[in-house]
Amino acid sequence: MMTIEEIMTFDPITLDMNATIDQVAEIMATHRIRHIPVVDKSNKLIGLLTQRDLLAASSSANRPVAVADFMRKKVTSVDENTELRSAAIEMQKAKIGCLPVLRDEKLIGIITDSDYVGLAINLLEQFESMDPQELDEDLDDFGDESIYVEDDNDI
C-alpha cells in the first residue's frame, strides 16, 4: 500500500492571511503552482487558495485585497499515512485538485493532481519497459478465480 508521504510535496509554499491578491498572483506565476495553503504563525492550516479563487477574486468588481477575503476556509485535508488510492478517490469525488497534508494539525505537505499524474507517468514507463513474458506472468498473478461472470445459466 502506497501512502501520501511517498509522493507528496514536503514544506509547500504557504501564505498568511495578510498576503495580498497581487502577492498570490506573483507567487503562483513564479513557482508555477495552482494551490497555496494559508497558515497561521504556528503553521496551522486555516485556508487554501486555488488558481480558480484567484481568477474569481481578480475579476470581481469589488476586488478583495487580502487573502482572508477570498481564501477557502473549509478545506479537506489528510495525514501522511493516508493511502494514495483513498486520497485520489476523495479528490475525484469532491472534484478538488489538492489535499493539504497535516500532522498534529500542522501543515507538513500537499498532494496535488499533478503528483498523481507524475505517479501515473512513472508507472506507465515501468509497465512499458517490462518484458512481454514478465508482463504476462504479472497479469496471471490476478488469476481467473478473482473474476466471476454470471451467465444466463447461473440464474
- pTM (predicted TM-score): 0.78
pLDDT at res. 129: 85
What's the whole-number mean pLDDT along residues 13-42?
94
Check residue 8 and report its DSSP letter. P
pLDDT tens figures, 59-70: 876 776 788 888
pLDDT at res. 137: 66
Q: Does pLDDT of 51 surpass 70?
A: yes
Give, to the nearest 10 degrees, the angle between helix 21-31 and helix 51-59.
Answer: 140
Of the spans 63-67, 104-108, 143-147, which averages the highest pLDDT? 104-108
Helix ranges, the chain (H): 21-31, 51-59, 84-94, 113-129, 132-140
Quick check: 17 and 67 in contact, CB under 8 A?
yes
**How high does pLDDT run on average in the chain?**
86
Of the spans 24-38, 57-71, 110-124, which averages the highest pLDDT? 24-38
Per-residue exposure over 90-117, b if at least 16 CB sit within 10 Å of its own CB, e if not: ebeeeebbbbbbbeeeebbbbbbbebbe
Q: Does pLDDT of 27 surpass 90?
A: yes
